[in-house]
Amino acid sequence: MSPKNLSEELFKPRFKHPETSTLVRRLSHHRPMSIQSALDGETHAGWYRMINRLLWTWRGLTPQEVSEVLARIAISTVEHTDDKLLDTVIGYRGGNWIYEWSKQAAIWQQKASECSDDHEAGQCWLHAANLYSVAGYPHLKEDELAEQAQLFAIRAYEEATHRLPGELKSLEFAIPGGSPVTGFLHMPPEVKAPYPTVLVCGSLDALQSDHYRLFHDYLAPRGIAMLTLDMPSVGFSSKWKLTQDTSFLHQHVVRQLENIPWVDHTRVAAFGFRFGANIAVRLAYLESQRLRGVACLGPVVHSLLSDTNLQDRVPEMYMDMLASRLGMSGATDSALRTELSRFSLKIQGLLGRRCPTPMLSGYWANDPFSPEEESRLITNSSSAGRLLKINTSPVMENFDKGLRDICDWLVQRLGA
């Protein structure tokens, strides 16, 4: 398909697709207070989605560009699912969240095709991938337009990584009882294989293509490879439901690393963000003989999963995302809360027991998703735990420092 035809197909108005905010039909709802979180962004009156300027900017988007796209969404006067929420435009057309972010991504795709310099083209493709990822955010199941944006994000990401420093290999891992999953192995330049490797377990609202900067700025300069895998029910792992055995997919991947010639399977660690820390900590217990260490950032392993007061303070979008991942799109809040409690690693009988794997956990004071006690529970359960407090202001500077401290700790664990 020619670029012109692709563009025409991509931006053809379509109205039969359900609007994102209607996909989860929980029977009872709450209206939490406004919150601000370093990892998840901010709630704003008039928006269904949390606006995550910090991470979007950290990944490479400019604040001006983010504001420009949000403005295009905000001024739309066409039909909305909820007239009080700006990002609920019905149909794939101007003003719709997925449409506007995808339209912005297509601009960068066009720039990439016009670049004569390979590295510059790679940066444009990476920018497009980041925009397509935001288009699909928060990546709810059965959101057909978001799934389309995910496919474009993956395609743009592969185009980018072929042109940028380091090398990316797409690896397929067999999973018992179902479809294989695909992971991306990012290998640092000017270092010989096999590489010490960090398995990244991302948050529930992220794609594995969102972690390039973590590799380029933090892991690659330390000679460490990065292996990414989509969370169950998202992206390449979309055929797998998120269950109480949250680490099921990642565990089978870790066990197959000894067959990957580019990975030093004797020097592997895991790094989990938010709900991804649930997976990483579970791996620390179940695969302690295969992991040198586990690092967490803003972990969700017990408190949010079991404390109804915390659940009442998080945004509607986040509870919808949890319901979507668990296949409980039509459940009441009480049913959802009962199921979430089963995901607590403390209730499962893991956290609180002594874990032989060294674990680090970073936290922010007054984090609405992950209180300090969450990180203390992790580090106190480890035979060699380290607690890392990250200051809230200035937020970007301290986020960067926190990541550098964590990666330095991983280097020590890996002997890299």
Domain ranges in the chain are 36-164, 166-415
Please report, for residues 47, 55, 284, 295, 355, the alpha-carbon distance to residue 381 in angstroms, rounded to integers and kept in the order given: 39, 30, 11, 13, 6
Contact between 128 and 103 (Cβ < 8 Å): no
Close Cβ partners of 306 (under 8 Å, ≥ 6 residues apart): 340, 341, 344, 346, 347
pLDDT at 6: 47
pLDDT tens for the chain, 416 residues: list them.
444 444 445 555 555 788 999 999 876 555 656 788 888 888 888 999 999 999 999 999 999 999 999 999 999 999 999 999 999 999 999 999 999 999 999 999 999 999 999 999 999 999 999 999 999 999 999 899 999 999 999 999 999 999 998 899 999 999 999 999 999 999 999 899 999 999 999 999 999 999 999 999 999 999 999 999 999 999 999 999 999 999 999 999 999 999 999 999 999 999 999 999 999 999 999 999 999 999 999 999 999 999 999 998 888 899 999 999 999 988 888 899 999 999 999 999 999 999 999 999 999 999 999 999 999 999 999 999 999 999 998 999 999 999 999 999 999 999 86
Q: How far apart are the two ends of the chain, measured CA to CA in Å?
A: 45
**CATH code reported for the domain at 166-415:** 3.40.50.1820
Report phi then psi at 189, rounded to 5: -75, 155
pLDDT at 337: 93
Please report, for residues 62, 96, 306, the alpha-carbon distance to residue 339 in angstroms, rounded to integers and kept in the order given: 39, 32, 9
**Whole-angstrom distance, CA of residue 378 vs CA of residue 296:** 9
Residue 359's nearest CA partner among 305, 300, 297, 401 is 297
**Whole-angstrom distance, CA of residue 131 vs CA of residue 134:** 5
- Assigned architecture for domain 36-164: Up-down Bundle (1.20)
**Whole-angstrom distance, CA of residue 115 vs CA of residue 120:** 7
Tell me, yes or no, if the two domains 36-164 and 166-415 fold the same way: no
pLDDT at 37: 86
| 3-state SS assignment for residue 216 | helix
